[in-house]
Amino acid sequence: MAGSVRRQSVTTSAQAPVAAPDSPGAPRGLRNALAALAGLLSAAVALGFAELTAALVGPASSPVIAVGDAVITLTPEPVKEFAIRNFGENDKIVLVAGTLVVIAVYALLLGLVALRSRPLGILGIALFGFVGALAAFTRPAGSLLDVLPSIVGAGAGILALLALLVPLTAPSGAAAAPARHGREAPAAGSADPAHADERMVERLREILGSGDRKGAALDRRRFFLTGGVALGVAAVAGGGGRLLQRRFDVAEARADLSLPKPASAAAALPRGADLSGEIDGLTPLFTDNREFYRVDTAISVPQIRPSDYKLSLTGMFDSPRSYTLPELFERDDVIERDITITCVSNEVGGQLAGTARWIGIPLGAFLRENGVQSGSDQLACRDVNGMTIGAPTRSALDVEDAMLAFGMNGEPLPVEHGFPVRMLIPGLYGYVSACKWLTGIEATTFDAFDAYWVERDWAAEGPIKVASRIDTPAPLREFPAGRRAIAGVAWAQTRGIAKVEVRVDEEDWAEAELSPEVDADVWRQWVLPYDFPAGRHSITVRATSADGEEQVEARATPFPSGSTGWHSIQVVAA
């Protein structure tokens, strides 16, 4: 038999086995495909064990979440804005999906590399674990323990990879042996103590050596068996891990909480305060909690147990202290207020604004009580993950109805909206006033400290701009010619809206009817019935605040201090 260098020969232990013509040599394409699949399965096992470990350490230590968080932190502002603009509330789902796709591609390549060099394959998974560990550890609230899921995951991934490569690179002799010896004996050599060393070396080479040797046999059956086991283990570990992570969920604790009765209730709504019942497509006066826009940097929503909650005051206070949730709930100055909040990232005509009835305690009184010092011009607000939002101390003290809120539309704050406590300062964009999951307020100065968004070049102070938006008709809609309502909302928190004007095509501006004012901090709906002749029309809206500021016509992007421009849409009457 040509080229049949048998392994029995002691002298060949250092030689690479050479293809035996009768060995079941596998097509190269198939071996590569299976190696790539081995990479993918190993990644699944790694992620599965990481999730399982994260169930012990905490959800934020999961490498996918931690890497996603790191990506958010490191992403340049224009890209982030693009994501908020195009994916809106789904930006985090897109990010996690994107992270998983990158991991999958990496894993496929890693499988191919590992087929050629196992050490390189192992290194590849170790690197993958290192990135996860680094991301988890360097989170603002990260600890050394947070590296554990990545390390355990990488270890499990390496074992899975090695196990999956064995059937792809079984030495040809082994596979061919039974045929040659004509007996059922995969263990032919192992019973013989004389060959024990040789077997060891062989095993070692099998596990660590270059797998892509010519003629290595491919044991498909064993590969799919091992692969099936790997997939099952990954699913059980990952699924179980996710399930166990639910023990961190605070949904139940939130449901068990009852809000204090406010000492000062919201003012009664004026008659006909909400016009949305009469006009299809008009934004309701109050936004349902479930419909409320959400903007934050948290991939996994922070879960704070009410019993663990502590709000710490630090920095330039005369008598700083910390507060538990009952200490806040039991105060006798609890207020209930209707307030519209808006995001600096809102585009002209955008949806990043909402109105709720909030319950909380007055921020100004709270700060004074703790002796906030006159030298402080910034409050560095920290959430439970260490995210920072810098609010001007002046506004926190002086803006009427600025509050530490714990109730939203009759319920404890929804977890996504900052449970159990967030800050609200009417008239400022959320990124400088509305810190959710608030656990720390440090009285400091703008000179001494740049908060998260300011570090990313957003304006340090963020007063909201006068804005108005057309809700109906919807842009680019075709509707029957004739009379129909043009309607929408307008806001200028703390000042109030005095006037909304609408222009159709090149006609004069016409003043819209406004819904009764609920509060200067609440948006106003506006309506203008209009007779549309058949044809194409453009509709433009602009608002004026009660202190006489007209909405700015010039277009500006949200970055760095909020968009400006009149909202204008095209419609067709047929």
Ligand X SMILES: Nc1nc2c(c(=O)[nH]1)N[C@H]1C(S)=C(S)[C@@H](COP(=O)(O)O)O[C@H]1N2
Q: Which does 292 bind (CB under 5 to 8 A by kind): ligand X, Mo ion, none?
A: ligand X
DSSP code per residue over 520-570: TTS-EEEEEEEEE-SEEEEEEEEEEETTSPBPP-S-B-STTT--BS-EEEE
**In angstroms, rounded to a whole number, what is the distance separating the alpha carbons of residues 325 and 422?**
12
Kindly state whether residue 498 participates in binding ligand X, applying the rule CB under 6 A.
no
**In angstroms, rounded to a whole number, what is the distance separating the alpha carbons of residues 58 and 50?**
11
**Sequence letter at residue 362:** P
Kindly state whether residue 524 participates in binding ligand X, applying the rule CB under 6 A.
no
Least distance to ligand X, CB of residue 437, Å: 5
**In angstroms, rounded to a whole number, what is the distance separating the alpha carbons of residues 170 and 24?**
11
**Interactions with ligand X, residue window 282-321 (CB under 6 A):** 292-297
Instruction: Print the binding letters for residues 419-448 with Mo ion: x by CB under 5 A, - otherwise.
Output: -----------xx-----------------
Window of 382-390, 460-468, 491-499, 542-550 that interacts with ligand X by CB under 6 A: 382-390
Instruction: Print the binding letters for residues 416-435 with ligand X: x by CB under 6 A, - otherwise.
Output: -x------------xx--xx
Give the residue with the Cβ less far from Mo ion, 389 or 403. Answer: 389
Burial of 509 (0-12, 13-18, 19+ CB in 10 A): middle
Rounded (10°) angle between helices 118-137 and 28-57? 30
Whose CA is closest to 416, among 55, 39, 15, 89?
89
Instruction: Print the binding letters for residues 290-309 with Mo ion: x by CB under 5 A, - otherwise.
Output: -----x--------------
Kindly state whether residue 49 participates in binding ligand X, applying the rule CB under 6 A.
no
Number of residues that bind Mo ion (CB under 5 A): 5
Q: Which does 526 bind (CB under 5 to 8 A by kind): Mo ion, ligand X, none?
A: none
Give the residue with the Cβ less far from ligand X, 12 or 351. Answer: 351
Give the residue with the Cβ less far from Mo ion, 211 or 430. Answer: 430
Kindly state whether residue 242 participates in binding ligand X, applying the rule CB under 6 A.
no
Kindly state whether residue 69 participates in binding ligand X, applying the rule CB under 6 A.
no
Give the residue with the Cβ less far from ligand X, 299 or 571. Answer: 299
What are the tokens at 33? 């495909």
Kindly state whether residue 465 participates in binding ligand X, applying the rule CB under 6 A.
no
Kindly state whether residue 68 participates in binding ligand X, applying the rule CB under 6 A.
no
Least distance to Mo ion, CB of residue 508, Å: 36
Least distance to ligand X, CB of residue 383, Å: 3
Q: Which does 296 bind (CB under 5 to 8 A by kind): Mo ion, ligand X, none?
A: ligand X
**Interactions with ligand X, residue window 385-404 (CB under 6 A):** 387, 389
Kindly state whether residue 315 participates in binding Mo ion, applying the rule CB under 5 A.
no
Kindly state whether residue 207 participates in binding Mo ion, applying the rule CB under 5 A.
no
Q: Which does 128 bind (CB under 5 to 8 A by kind): ligand X, Mo ion, none?
A: none
Give the residue with the Cβ less far from ligand X, 329 or 437. Answer: 437
Least distance to ligand X, CB of residue 72, Å: 9
Q: Which does 297 bind (CB under 5 to 8 A by kind): Mo ion, ligand X, none?
A: ligand X
Least distance to Mo ion, CB of residue 456, Å: 12
**In angstroms, rounded to a whole number, what is the distance separating the alpha carbons of residues 425 and 56?**
37
| Paired strand residues for 444 | 378
DSSP 8-state class, residue 371: T
What are the tokens at 140? 């603002």
Burial of 572 (0-12, 13-18, 19+ CB in 10 A): middle
Measured CA to CA in angstroms, residue 497 lies from 260, 491, 524, 550 at distances of 32, 6, 7, 10
**Spacing of C-alpha 482 from chain mean position:** 45
Q: Which does 387 bind (CB under 5 to 8 A by kind): Mo ion, ligand X, none?
A: ligand X
The four Cα atoms 87, 90, 92, 94 give a dihedral, to 10 degrees, of -70
3-state percent helix, strand, coil for the chain, nearest multiple of 5: 40, 20, 40
Kindly state whether residue 57 participates in binding Mo ion, applying the rule CB under 5 A.
no
**In the complex, residue closest to Mo ion by CB:** 343
> What are the backbone angles phi and psi of residue 264, rounded to the nearest 5°?
-125, 105
- Kindly report whether the peptide bond that precedes residue 480 is cis, defined as omega within 30 degrees of 0: no
Kindly state whether residue 92 participates in binding ligand X, applying the rule CB under 6 A.
no
User: Which residues have a Cβ under 8 Å from the Cβ of 182 and sit 6 or more positions away?
Assistant: none
Q: Which does 523 bind (CB under 5 to 8 A by kind): ligand X, Mo ion, none?
A: none
Q: Which does 530 bind (CB under 5 to 8 A by kind): Mo ion, ligand X, none?
A: none
Continuous segment of H or E residues that includes residue 449: none
Measured CA to CA in angstroms, residue 482 lies from 282, 335, 508, 531, 533 at distances of 19, 47, 19, 5, 6
Least distance to ligand X, CB of residue 434, Å: 4
Kindly state whether residue 72 participates in binding Mo ion, applying the rule CB under 5 A.
no
**Interactions with ligand X, residue window 144-173 (CB under 6 A):** none
Mapping DSSP to helix (H, G, I), strand (E, B) and coil, where does residue 487 land?
A: strand
- Pairing type for strands 378-383 and 411-412 reads unpaired
Least distance to ligand X, CB of residue 431, Å: 4
**Interactions with ligand X, residue window 326-345 (CB under 6 A):** 343
Kindly state whether residue 436 participates in binding ligand X, applying the rule CB under 6 A.
yes
Binding residues vs Mo ion (CB under 5 A)? 295, 343-344, 430-431
Binding residues vs ligand X (CB under 6 A)? 292-297, 343, 383, 387, 389, 417, 430-431, 434-437
